[in-house]
Amino acid sequence: MKNTTYKVRVYKTEIRKNATGKVTSYRVEWVTAGKRWKKTFQRSAQADSYRSNLLTAAREGEPFSLITGEPVTWSRTERPDMTWYEFACKFADFKWKAASAKYRQDIARALTSATPAMLTSGTGKPADLDLRTAMRRWAFNSKQRDEAPEEMAEVLAWLAKHTRPVSDLAEAVTIRAVLDTATSRLNGKPAATSTIRRHKTILQNALDYAVELKLLDANPIKSLKWKPPKVTYEVDRRSVVNPTQARRLLAEVEAQKPSGKRLVAFFGAMYYAALRPEEAVNLREENIIIPELVKNAETGQMEEPANDWGELHFASAAPFAGREWTDDGNLREERALKHRSEGVIRIVPCPPPLTKLFRAHFAEFAPGPGERLFTGIRASELPYITYRRVWIKARENALTDKEVRSPLAKRPYDLRHACVSTWLNAGVPATQVAEWAGHSVDVLLRIYAKCIVGQDEAAKRRIADALNEHDDGS
């Protein structure tokens, strides 16, 4: 077993006295694999008994824990224990109330990914797909666990009897297996870098909770020599559309039936104002401030004003999570803006092309549930799958075959990247772009460093000028 040793030496009991010479305590000292341990008792009999037990364990060849310093069998008998399945459910319940709906899903996925490494052998093992489904949708969902259908309830009952105790995680070989399993795909290959980091963080938090419950003496993940892969935060320049491509995409969105017309301003808000999808889907009329049309004195027609810039004012987003993960049973959970405190408002300029899209939307479509601008075709909440399908079809129609196979505008989120890149390339100061986009300046420049075009050529010109100046001087 890892984290144990048989190299033990027990010293004589030390009598501790105070300044007056009176005995105050008795201290037992011993060493395991070079590490010194001490334990103090008020009575000599207690110290002698404890020291005697240490000596007996050492003589009988019992392994000593490098974490507690005591024989491994003592920890197993004295510490409360719990199966991994019971603990994982308890941890999910512990985090449920304060967690967002999306984070609740992340916790369930991480625990589901880790659990196979903690399964014991047993007859009647359900199919792997059934095990994963039962864990992710019911076991680690505090709202749904008691509502599992009969066939899934049987899977959960099997799980409850066939997972190892949490105390096994004190062994390095076990915790490493759990971490490796949680950060791998089903085919054994490493998961996406963001998934690896997220699952590792959640597992580390879970084992901190195990320490709090006194199921473990220390968090075993923190003692592992294990480094997650580095995350690439930069935007892929190949995914960023230019203005001509963006206009073609929006035109094809509008042409899609039956949902295109009601979604063109939705995608437009991402491209022209750098909104995240969960921010765009939560827009209401009150968030949009645009100039009123003006009457042409000669023709009497209502026209767009000369200055047709507006503003978007908003303080919340509504990421899609699913009814089973939200407290109110809605598909989306309304939250504060990403990386922002509750009630903090973000103000973003609304350029004339976006102003025009909003006017057309207001003229044709009524608000949906919660007064949100964008809805499904039945005036319901806007499903993720609806706007995803529209985008896939529009992309196929607007781009060449080669562009479709490339990362160009692969996701609706890439429209936001295109907007921020456009602002930066137009020379808008990074501080202003960061404020509009809802980033810190540091994060903004790190993410979009490769999307600021023209910097290479400008640098080359400066180098050439310096070299020419040197040549002229010689």
Q: Using one digit for the tens of pLDDT, what is the confidence trace for 155-172?
A: 999 999 999 999 899 888
Band of residue 381 on the pLDDT scale cut at 50, 70, 90? confident
Band of residue 376 on the pLDDT scale cut at 50, 70, 90? confident
197 sits in which H/E element:
helix 193-212
pLDDT, average across residues 351-379: 91
DSSP 236: P
CA angle centred on 272, ends 268 and 278, rounded to 5°? 60
pLDDT, average across residues 395-416: 94
67-81, 231-245, 432-446: range with lowest mean pLDDT: 67-81
Backbone dihedral angles phi then psi of residue 24, each to the nearest 5 degrees: -115, -30
Which range, 172-186, 338-352, 459-473, is most confident?
A: 172-186
Backbone dihedral angles phi then psi of residue 449, each to the nearest 5 degrees: -55, -40
Number of Cα atoms under 13 Å in the Cβ half of residue 146: 3
pLDDT, average across residues 1-25: 81
Question: Beta 23-32 vs 8-10: how paired, if at all?
Answer: antiparallel
435 sits in which H/E element:
helix 430-437
Higher pLDDT, 277 or 23: 277
- What integer pLDDT is reported at residue 119 of this predicted model? 94
C-alpha–C-alpha distance, residues 337 and 27, integer Å: 57
| Closest residue by Cα to residue 394 from 276, 266, 259, 256 | 256
Q: Using one digit for the tens of pLDDT, what is the confidence trace for 69-91?
A: 888 887 655 555 789 999 999 99
pLDDT, average across residues 183-211: 91
| Closest residue by Cα to residue 70 from 90, 50, 85 | 50
Q: Using one digit for the tens of pLDDT, what is the confidence trace for 278-329?
A: 999 999 999 999 999 888 878 888 888 888 999 999 887 877 788 888 888 8
| Closest residue by Cα to residue 149 from 129, 170, 133, 164 | 133
Band of residue 136 on the pLDDT scale cut at 50, 70, 90? very high
Q: Using one digit for the tens of pLDDT, what is the confidence trace for 94-109?
A: 999 999 999 999 999 9
pLDDT at position 250 over 90: yes
Backbone dihedral angles phi then psi of residue 22, each to the nearest 5 degrees: -85, 145
Band of residue 233 on the pLDDT scale cut at 50, 70, 90? low
pLDDT at position 371 over 60: yes
Question: Beta 294-295 vs 316-317: how paired, if at all?
Answer: unpaired
C-alpha–C-alpha distance, residues 399 and 403, integer Å: 6
C-alpha–C-alpha distance, residues 439 and 434, integer Å: 5
C-alpha–C-alpha distance, residues 348 and 393, integer Å: 29
Band of residue 473 on the pLDDT scale cut at 50, 70, 90? low
Higher pLDDT, 61 or 297: 61
pLDDT, average across residues 401-423: 93
Backbone dihedral angles phi then psi of residue 333, each to the nearest 5 degrees: -115, 120
- What integer pLDDT is reported at residue 458 of this predicted model? 56
C-alpha–C-alpha distance, residues 178 and 194, integer Å: 18
C-alpha–C-alpha distance, residues 72 and 32, integer Å: 12
Which range, 2-6, 60-64, 146-150, 308-312, is most confident?
A: 308-312
Task: Report the chain's mean pLDDT, rounded to a whole number.
Answer: 87
Higher pLDDT, 429 or 380: 429
31-35, 75-79, 383-387: range with lowest mean pLDDT: 75-79
What secondary structure does DSSP assign to 203-226, as a single string?
A: HHHHHHHHHHTTS-SS-GGGGS--
91-105, 201-215, 216-230: range with lowest mean pLDDT: 216-230
- What integer pLDDT is reported at residue 352 of this predicted model? 95
Give the predicted TM-score (pTM) of the model.
0.66
| Closest residue by Cα to residue 61 from 12, 10, 8 | 8
11-15, 379-383, 386-390, 464-468: range with lowest mean pLDDT: 464-468
| Closest residue by Cα to residue 152 from 166, 140, 169, 135 | 135
C-alpha–C-alpha distance, residues 44 and 50, integer Å: 10
Query: Token digits for 79?
Result: 């510490």
Higher pLDDT, 324 or 354: 354
- What integer pLDDT is reported at residue 172 of this predicted model? 86
Q: Residue 381: how many CB atoms within 10 A of its CB?
A: 20
pLDDT, average across residues 15-30: 80
SS (H, E, C) 112-173: HHHHHHHECCCCCCCCHHHHHHHHHHHHCCCCCHHHCCHHHHHHHHHHHHCECEHHHHHCHH
Burial 84-99 (b: 16+ CB within 10 A, else e): bbebbbbbbebbbeeb
C-alpha–C-alpha distance, residues 258 and 14, integer Å: 85
